[in-house]
Structure 1
Amino acid sequence: MRRPRLLTDRAVPVAAWRILILLTAVFAEAWNIKNMLQSGEPPTEHFAYFTVQSNLFVIALMVWMLLVPEWRRPRWFDHVRGAITAYIVLTGLVYAVLLAEPDEVWAWSIEFTNAAQHRFIPWMVGLDWLLVPTARRISLAAAAWWMAYPVGYLVAAWLRGGLVDGWFPYPFLDPAVHGGWAGLVWPTGQVLIAFVIGIFVVAGVGRLRHRESSRAAAAADPPGPASTAP
Structure 2
Amino acid sequence: MIGIVPSRTGARIWHALTALTVLLAVGTQLALVIGDVNIGFGPSNAPLGQRLFEFFSYFTVQSNIFVGIAAGLLAARPDRDGAYFRVLRIAAMFGITVTLLMYHFVLSPLANFTGVASASNIGLHYVVPIFAIVGWILFGPHPRVSWKALFLALIWPGAFIIVTVVQGAVTGFYPYPFVNIDVLGFPTVLINGVGIVALLLAVGSAYKLIDWLISRPKKRTT
TM superposition score category, shorter chain reference: 0.7 to 0.9
The alignment status of 1:159 with 2:156, answered yes or no, reads no
By how many angstroms is 1:58 displaced? 1.3
By how many angstroms is 1:111 displaced? 0.9
Find the partner of 1:115 among 98, 105, 122.
122
Distance 1:4 1:93 in 2: 27
The alignment status of 1:34 with 2:34, answered yes or no, reads no
Asked if structure 1 preserves the Cα contact closer than 8 Å seen for 2:22 and 2:68, the reply is: yes
By how many angstroms is 1:193 displaced? 2.7
The alignment status of 1:7 with 2:5, answered yes or no, reads yes
By how many angstroms is 1:203 displaced? 1.9
State the match for 1:225 in structure 2. Answer: none
When normalised by structure 2's length, the TM-score is 0.80
Where 2:181 maps in the other structure, the secondary structure is coil
State the match for 1:43 in structure 2. Answer: 52
By how many angstroms is 1:67 displaced? 1.8
State the match for 1:170 in structure 2. Answer: 176
Q: Deviations along 1:112-142, whole A, 9 cap, x unmatched?
A: 1111111111121111111224344532354
State the match for 2:103 in structure 1. Answer: 95
Where 2:21 maps in the other structure, the secondary structure is helix
By how many angstroms is 1:79 displaced? 3.9
Find the partner of 2:209 among 198, 204, 207.
204
- Structure 1 residues 160 and 132, CA gap change in structure 2 (3 angstroms): same
By how many angstroms is 1:69 displaced? 5.6
- What letter corresponds to residue 5 of structure 2 in structure 1? L
Distance 1:102 1:196 in 2: 26
Where 1:29 maps in the other structure, the secondary structure is helix
By how many angstroms is 1:48 displaced? 1.0
When normalised by structure 1's length, the TM-score is 0.77
- What letter corresponds to residue 193 of structure 1 in structure 2? A
Distance 2:70 2:201 in 1: 22
State the match for 1:16 in structure 2. Answer: 13
Distance 1:176 1:5 in 2: 46
Where 2:35 maps in the other structure, the secondary structure is helix
- Structure 1 residues 206 and 135, CA gap change in structure 2 (3 angstroms): closer
Superposed CA RMSD in Å reads 2.9
By how many angstroms is 1:92 displaced? 0.8
- Structure 1 residues 9 and 49, CA gap change in structure 2 (3 angstroms): farther
Distance 2:3 2:108 in 1: 40
User: Where do 5+ consecutive residues of structure 2 fail to align?
Assistant: 37-44
Residue range with higher mean Cα deviation, 83-92 or 73-82: 73-82
By how many angstroms is 1:93 displaced? 0.7
